[in-house]
Structure 1
């Protein structure tokens, strides 16, 4: 049997794909997205989504939970909370530690004050480790966390808190990828690209470079417009050879990072790219880490260095030019 090279397989696959839009078509597409979704921020201050967190009370009970909640057009909440008992103050319940149960809930959500009033309706609990409860939950303004109190048999001393698992409540977003998926046409990929921006100094700090990076979408992805980056912002990117697709960005000021998640219309979905500003060897660098299980994993990795270096070099030149202008004294 004749051996067919991997490069020939990739070439045939690429040639069989729809052509990349012409300059005129691409311009029309960009104009369409400008009025449609470029730079828009999807609503993320809703209780709908997937939440991981903990619940505790003064008696010494501690549970871990994952809540999957939906909100319909009438602001009615429904969903399920999976509970896992982590600690109990009662000696006769120690054998139950580590067991799980499901509570099915319903209620209402007020988008103006971001308050959800939810109560347990039924449960799947063969070992009797939970009781149905009532919840008053507030969604943080940025939509990434929840806090609240629960009835706890009437004294309202149950405390609940959690963080969003699905970025911005977008069900198209995938956050975890299986490294064992090693297909050639579609499979897992991982890459890292590092670029030195400047030498560490009063003018060159991690915070200053990150603030500069998030000030312009061109510094976080291959886009054709300039706009400050915000959490849950949608952008249309243009991938060489493969064409256009949509990403959703999540900004983390604490870790000085912006994570871009692909949506379903992205040619390399599912995947994500984390753009972080870090200090390394007395320099401030931009570190780009890509992961995913989308199409053409080898092509994705091979294109990554050039694509991100071009973006990094643009950021580097503009940042250092700005520093020089500010320090210039005629």
Structure 2
């Protein structure tokens, strides 16, 4: 290892990202599923945004929140994958110190936004099922805008100390990060100072942000299930529960790998490092890929609109083909007459 990597410095000009330590020989192969997941996420989330924009019947609170989720699911993988692929494909491991802090901020900021969006969607389902007659008067467009602004501001402000504290710490050991991106915990471990402030603040954000969000979602669904089981028939119970199925699937897809990654990174000392790094990538790539699939399959309005668009495109192509064929026939006949 070069001397420049162990020289004493306060703020390094660059960090070195190793990728997935121990799996360097498999980087190219690992990049294939990563790239595939990213392409599916981009196509799927843009499709959700396009369908909701084009279909006036989908201009409601649930679909506004779904659009916010789609935007978040576009930003999160985009904030990590270009640099990750450059490491895997071109061995381009250097990242500017400020770019590293910016990446750190975007990752944690939009992760916080995503969990807040799930809370907003749980609120929408609670009002729609428990207070259906008041849904349109409670969740008006101004109220949806206020909820959305609150989610954005909460995450943006709460995550601000992360890059400021990381910039404040001195780094005198090394500038090598055994990761594919600038995760807060991975950068924090490089500092040669008492980093308990950063550690405690990270735990505070975990429990006050994600923890409270999960509590709110749990309470909401307890009330929703009580309302569902009070319905008179099994068919009505299943139909009502079906409106929540996509949301529940998306919640599990996001919270299970993210909590597992976070807790094992902090407390799983016997877990191999390459497994930590893989899980840290999975929880930023898999939910953005699965969310549009889940909502596309489970939400009838989106599924019907998507099928209608595909049928319309096929009809348009067949009409164009028919018109082109008729034109050719006319031209052929006129040529024969001439």
Q: TM-score range by the shorter chain?
A: under 0.3
Q: Which has the higher contact order (CA 8 A, sep 6+)?
A: 2
Give the structure with the higher percent helix. 2
Give the structure with the higher percent strand. 1
